Structure 1
Amino acid sequence: MANIAVIGTLDSKGIEHQFVADQIRKRGHTTLLIDVGTGGPPQVAPDVSRQEVAEAGGICLDDLMSRQDRGECVSAMADTIPRLMRQLLDQGRIDGVISLGGGGGTAIGTAAMRALPIGFPKVMVSTMASGNIEHYVGTKDIVIIPSVVDVAGLNRVSRTIFTRAAGAICGMVESQVEPNRDDRPLIVASMFGNTTQCVNAAVPILEAAGYEVLIFHSTGAGGKAMESLIESGMIAGVLDITTTEWADELLGGVMTAGPHRLEAAGRANVPSIVVPGCLDMVNFGARDTVPDKFSGRNIYIHNPQVTLMRTSPEECRELGSILANKINQYTAPVSVLIPQQAVSGISAKGGPYHDPEADQALFSSLTGSLRGDVDVRLADNEINDEAFARLCAETLLENIRLHQASS
């Protein structure tokens, strides 16, 4: 039997959260009903009051509510609920968490969930699930279920959605995860569809050397998650083959990992290799989402939901300088590997993004802006050639050995 936290604004959505709690109890689990409402009195009796939630974060709830500013109240609860959740986790009082909400409830519920470790069961039923949910999920494994109808009463649709969501969180807490017995040191790698062959060929070489490799998809969230893990101190090496997120950051694409991508390895003093993989492309959504200012550019439809734009020589020159400035901050051994024949699966000769002028602008800017002591290796290969993948893996292993020898 597990104890599942049910978090909600019980002043406006108490009946709905009570329904979910009842469904969980029917499955044989217990619940901890937590009130994060700041309006009228709760519709149902909570197990953890809004006053207790506020106190966990050092907030005076009476002062907060007296100002009658809903936005301020939501922000305050979103700030304090993570502290309460960490306390409950440390005390062994919760085994999973579920919440229902609109904009405010989703902000509070997901703030609570982001405070919990990866692997801890988390389910959010939200009216916001059909839009951009990156700021709600962050780098955590939060399951977001669209509410379809508003979280405003019980009806034939909401009962179905809420019942299935309760079943989902119950199934998650009932699933037994095998304890981790793998004590191999960790390497992280960045990958895209256009660099998959390279990463897939490099991984077995690293595994044969005694490492476990975690692969992150360079879609923005993937890069952020990888950076976060590097900074945690758990990582022995970084196989950063796919730095494409910087093209999106520079040009307003949808897969940016933000301005701090490529900084964690420097701060954490982790040996690395860096490749300008897929810096030939910027990612947008469906074709009609490409901004009008880019009309006339080299556009490639990757699939109905993803449209690519080829980076120009001027943009590549700036990207090379950005990467070099980040790499110049690295303290552990780092190598920059350049596949001179193609930086992606579609930039090889004959491909839609083959542009030697743009590639040369990228390579010259990158190598010309690096510190003099940074190891640079030019390879007469395409990025997905097996020989280049082997070079990436073996160079990273060499850098790890150098780092270990100097420690």
Structure 2
Amino acid sequence: MTKLAHPRILVIGTGDTKADELHFIGDCIAAAGGEAIMMDVSVLGDPPYAPHYDKHVVAQAAETTIEKIADSGDENSAMSLMALGAKRLARRLYDSGDFDAMLAIGGTMGTDLALDVAQALPIGVPKFVASTIAYSHLVPPERIAADLMMILWAGGLYGLNSTCKSVLSQACGAVVGAARSAMKPRSDRPVVAMTSLGKSCLSYMVELKPELERRGYEVVVFHTTGMGGRAMESIAAKKGFAAILDLSLQEVANQLTGSVVNSGADRLENAGKAGIPQIVAPGAIDMVDFPAWLPTPNELLERPYHAHNRLLASATSRPDDRRRIARAIADKLASAQAPVAFVLPAGGIQQWDREGEALHDPEGLAAFVGEMRSAIKPPVELHEINDHINSAAFNATVLGIFDRWVEAGIVPAGRASAAT
């Protein structure tokens, strides 16, 4: 791996209101051995310095002028247009080799713009946002790039102070360090995505991952606790996988039942839109997750309950909700632009739904299985098995479909890994 001696950091902010903070960032990046390249996304004012890319260049990238943006109606429409220009300009600059990483700062306005820029850049390009709303529920999952880094910008509302400097200096050191050491994903084998929920709940990955690796694939496993599914969807939207084994759909169920532990409304949609073949199973769709440190939601008070840890707890959804979830899954898969196979394990869909376990609910499982049978329509393949999802029969079914698709050319053939 070649390490960059002097990483170039694209620094994005509103120079008319945050000039002191941006000057401080430039100094910190230089002190860390990097070079700050300033992009100004101001609308009304001008910074007291000459940015490398001023607001006029940003507006031009959005195919408009800064005057038209200022007159567009309100601050929301103006910043939306600036975000469009900023993300287009940033991607063009990156593709031309003009910077190595990005750092953006802001409150709600600056963060809104920064999230668009981060999504426009490939995975492996360090993306750091210092934000007064970092980790807030104001940031929807679908806006978060797969490898976004954020730091809470304490003391960042108005002007420099010692708290603000402490945070920004950490952000600068982090992004310069990341630019020096980042390894972009470059696999010598076709990449297969797989979703799971930790091997205590869904254990199929223990067998499936090495089997796929023996077939010549790199397997990337995503933890479906909200942001894991979001990361997978983000990469899938950019056609980053040869195939997807989306075997844990708990985030779909969470989104449909109002849980905050979700990946956004487009979960289970991006692979189909991108033409990526999918093998899908309903792992853990019977659980509704919620923060364990909050009271159990009223609608779940009488339902079977399981606490995973001090952060996360689950209760089972009602039979009617599971029928609704089944129909939603079928609708999402029906629009896919590539082959889809749905494996329906009628014997159970997560470890704790077995007889004697905390989330055992045969009525709910039967409601889901029955609805799923009727909801899945050709050309989506339906493969029903009588066994549990954590069984050898389930793994054999998934691998059988995968191997058949490889033989048919639907999934590219695996390759032996080059020596590392």
What is the TM-score when the length of structure 2 is the normalising length?
Answer: 0.87
Instruction: Indicate the larger mover: 106-115 or 321-330.
Output: 321-330
Closer, same or farther in 2 for the Cα pair 1:331/1:168, shift >3 Å? closer
Residue deviations 1:180-210, cap 9 Å, x none?
3x32122111111254421222111111111
Report what 1:299 is aligned to. 305
Match of 2:165 among 159, 167, 170: 159
Alignment of 1:335-346 (within 5 A): 335-346=341-352
Give the Cα–Cα distance (whole angstroms) in 1 for the partners of residues 410 and 142 of structure 2.
39
The answer on whether the counterparts of 1:313 and 1:357 sit within 8 Å (CA) in structure 2 is yes
Closer, same or farther in 2 for the Cα pair 1:332/1:130, shift >3 Å? closer
Instruction: Indicate the larger mover: 257-266 or 352-361.
Output: 257-266
The answer on whether the counterparts of 1:271 and 1:403 sit within 8 Å (CA) in structure 2 is no
Cα shift at 1:115: 1.3
Correspondence 1:102 to 2:107: yes
SS in 2 for 1:166: helix
Give the Cα–Cα distance (whole angstroms) in 1 for the partners of residues 213 and 19 of structure 2.
51
Correspondence 1:117 to 2:117: no
Closer, same or farther in 2 for the Cα pair 1:281/1:156, shift >3 Å? same
SS in 1 for 2:10: strand
Correspondence 1:279 to 2:285: yes
Report what 2:60 is aligned to. 55
Give the Cα–Cα distance (whole angstroms) in 1 for the partners of residues 76 and 276 of structure 2.
41
Alignment of 1:3-402 (within 5 A): 3-65=8-70, 69-132=74-137, 133-134=139-140, 137-175=143-181, 177=183, 180=186, 182-193=187-198, 195-288=201-294, 290-330=296-336, 332-371=338-377, 375-402=381-408
Give the Cα–Cα distance (whole angstroms) in 2 for the partners of residues 86 and 6 of structure 1.
14
Residue deviations 1:259-284, cap 9 Å, x none?
44333444444443221110110122
Give the Cα–Cα distance (whole angstroms) in 2 for the partners of residues 67 and 188 of structure 1.
42
Instruction: Indicate the larger mover: 302-311 or 198-207.
Output: 302-311
What is the one-letter code of the residue matched to 1:385?
S
More helix by share: 1
Closer, same or farther in 2 for the Cα pair 1:327/1:98, shift >3 Å? closer
Equivalenced residue count is: 406
What is the one-letter code of the residue matched to 2:321?
E
Give the Cα–Cα distance (whole angstroms) in 1 for the partners of residues 38 and 378 of structure 2.
59
Closer, same or farther in 2 for the Cα pair 1:355/1:169, shift >3 Å? same
Closer, same or farther in 2 for the Cα pair 1:232/1:11, shift >3 Å? closer
Cα shift at 1:293: 3.9
Give the Cα–Cα distance (whole angstroms) in 1 for the partners of residues 36 and 346 of structure 2.
58
Instruction: Indicate the larger mover: 354-363 or 286-295.
Output: 286-295
Percent of aligned positions with the same letter in both sequences? 31
Instruction: Indicate the larger mover: 327-336 or 74-83.
Output: 327-336
The answer on whether the counterparts of 2:13 and 2:42 sit within 8 Å (CA) in structure 1 is yes
Give the Cα–Cα distance (whole angstroms) in 2 for the partners of residues 269 and 34 of structure 1.
35
